[in-house]
Amino acid sequence: METFTASVKDVSVDFMPINGTDYLELYVSNAKQAAYFYKFAFGFQSLAYAGLETGLKDRESYVVSQDKIRLVLTSPLKSGTEIGKHIDKHGDGVKVSALWVDDAANAYSEAMKRGAKSYLKPEILEDNEGKVVRSGIHTYGEVVHIFIERKEYRGIFLPGYKPWNPEYKTEPVGLKYVDHMVGNVELGMMDEWVKFYEEVLGFKQILSFDDKDISTQYTALMSKVMSNGNGRIKFPINEPAAGLKKSQVDEYLEFYEGAGVQHIAVATDNIINTVTELKARGVEFLQIPGTYYDVLGERAGTIDEDIDVLRHLGILVDRDEEGYLLQIFTKTVQARPTMFFEVIQRKGATSFGKGNFKALFEAIEREQERRGTL
C-alpha cells in the first residue's frame, strides 16, 4: 500500500512552522574520537567546542558541520551523569533532534497545549554574539526535540561554545543536508507516534509501507513517513512486523534497549563522487548482490548514471511518479548494531526507495547472520 499526498499546507495555518534541522546531538562514549571519525571518514569540518576550556565541568561537546548538517558529539567527563546513563543503556546514539524555528517559546507552548511532554522549558542563552531561545519536548524512546530560535544570534553555533579551528583539516565529501531521520519504535507503537507527530507537531503522514511492501523471506517491518508543513522535516517511523526470524528493527530495539534513531539520511548532489570518497576513507557500506544490477535498467528506466559505476559502488536506484533517487546505506557506525547512515541523491523522486527495500533488507540480513542475531 502506498499513497502519496503532497502536503504543502498554507503556512498561515501551520501552528508549528519549522525552518529545517538545526543540529543532531549524539551522546557518545568518546566525543573526541567520534569527532575525528565524522571528520576524517565522513568529511565533516570542525566548527565549535564546549567543555573544560569553556567552563563546563561535567561534559564536553565537539560540533562538526558539512554544508547545512551539524552534528554535536557529547561525552560526560565524570561518572553518574544523565549522559553517562544514556550511554550505558543505549550505547552511542542520537539524543537530540534539534529543529530550527522562528519562535522557540511559541513552538513549545503550541506543542505543550497539544499534549507534548516537556523536556526543557523555554530559556534564553546569551553571550557576546547575541541570544538564542531554546525549549524542548520528548519524543519516542529517550530522544528529544529541541526548538532552536537563533535569529538574534551571530555566533558560530550556540552561546557557550567557542570556535573550534584546529590546524589539520579534512576535505568535505559533498554531504549537504539532512534529508530524513528514521526512528525505530516498539511493536504496536508506530501509530501512537504517528498520532503524536500529527497532533502535537502538526505533521502529516505522506507515505506508508506495510509488511507486504517491506518483507523478505525472513523479516518484515512497517513504516509510516511523517512530514512537517513545508516538507523540510521528514521522520519515517518503523515498527517490527512478525517474520520467520528476528527483524532488523527487533535487533535494533534489543541492542539499543528501546526506541531510538535508526538512520540519518544525508543528501548529496553527486552520490558517485560522495560514495567514492567515503569508501576511500574507509566508510563501510552494505553489499548489494550483482543480480540487483542485472535487472536495474528495466526497473529504473533511463538514468543519467552508468550502471556499471553504480554496481561497482553498490548504489541503489528507485523511481517514483516524480523522478528517481539514488541511495546507499552504511553499515552500523558504532559498537552496537544500531544506528547507520544513508546517503541519498534525489533526482525528482520524493519517496524513500520502496523498490530497494527487498534488496536492502536481504543485505541487512546477511549482516545479521554474521552477527548471529537473525
Query: Letter for the amino acid at 213?
Result: D
Number of other residues whose CB lies within 10 A of the CB of residue 345: 24
**Interhelix angle for 357-371 vs 248-256, to 10°?**
50
Number of residues that bind Fe ion (CB under 5 A): 2
CB of 328 to Fe ion, least distance (A): 11
Helix, strand counts (H, E) of the chain: 10, 17
CA 338/CA 216 separation, integer angstroms = 20
Q: Among 342, 343, 364, 374, which residue interacts with Fe ion (rule: CB under 5 A)?
A: 342
For Fe ion, the closer CB: 139 or 356: 356
For Fe ion, the closer CB: 310 or 316: 316
For Fe ion, the closer CB: 158 or 316: 316
For Fe ion, the closer CB: 130 or 231: 231
CA 305/CA 231 separation, integer angstroms = 27
CB of 79 to Fe ion, least distance (A): 36
For Fe ion, the closer CB: 64 or 265: 265
CB of 344 to Fe ion, least distance (A): 7
The string of DSSP codes covering 343-367 is: EEEEEB--S--GGGHHHHHHHHHHH
Contact call for residues 61 and 302 (beta carbons, < 8 A): no
CB of 307 to Fe ion, least distance (A): 22
DSSP-derived pairing of the beta strands 69-76 and 20-27: parallel
Among the candidate windows 38-46, 62-70, 337-345, 366-374, which touches Fe ion by CB under 5 A? 337-345
Where in the chain does DSSP place strands (E)? 20-27, 45-50, 59-66, 69-76, 93-100, 118-127, 130-138, 144-149, 162-163, 175-184, 204-209, 220-227, 234-241, 260-268, 316-320, 323-329, 340-347
Contact call for residues 268 and 174 (beta carbons, < 8 A): yes
For Fe ion, the closer CB: 59 or 180: 180
CB of 235 to Fe ion, least distance (A): 11
Nearest to 19 by CA among 78, 94, 103, 77: 103
DSSP-derived pairing of the beta strands 316-320 and 323-329: antiparallel
The grid coordinates of residue 153 equal: 544570534
Question: Scanning residues 52 to 81, which ones bind Fe ion (CB under 5 A)?
Answer: none
Residues 6+ apart with CB under 8 A from 279: 285, 313
For Fe ion, the closer CB: 265 or 310: 265
CB of 361 to Fe ion, least distance (A): 12
For Fe ion, the closer CB: 98 or 360: 360
Which burial class, exposed, middle or buried, applies to 12 when counting CB atoms under 10 A from its CB (0-12, 13-18, 19+)?
exposed
CB of 180 to Fe ion, least distance (A): 6
Question: Scanning residues 225 to 244, which ones bind Fe ion (CB under 5 A)?
Answer: none
Among the candidate windows 204-212, 224-232, 341-349, 358-366, which touches Fe ion by CB under 5 A? 341-349
Among the candidate windows 31-39, 59-67, 342-350, 363-371, which touches Fe ion by CB under 5 A? 342-350
CB of 179 to Fe ion, least distance (A): 8
CB of 184 to Fe ion, least distance (A): 12
For Fe ion, the closer CB: 98 or 182: 182
CB of 30 to Fe ion, least distance (A): 27
For Fe ion, the closer CB: 265 or 296: 265
Binding mask 91-130 for Fe ion (x = CB under 5 A): ----------------------------------------
Binding mask 246-285 for Fe ion (x = CB under 5 A): -------------------x--------------------
Rg of the chain over all Cα atoms, to the nearest angstrom: 20
Contact residues for Fe ion, defined by CB under 5 A: 265, 342
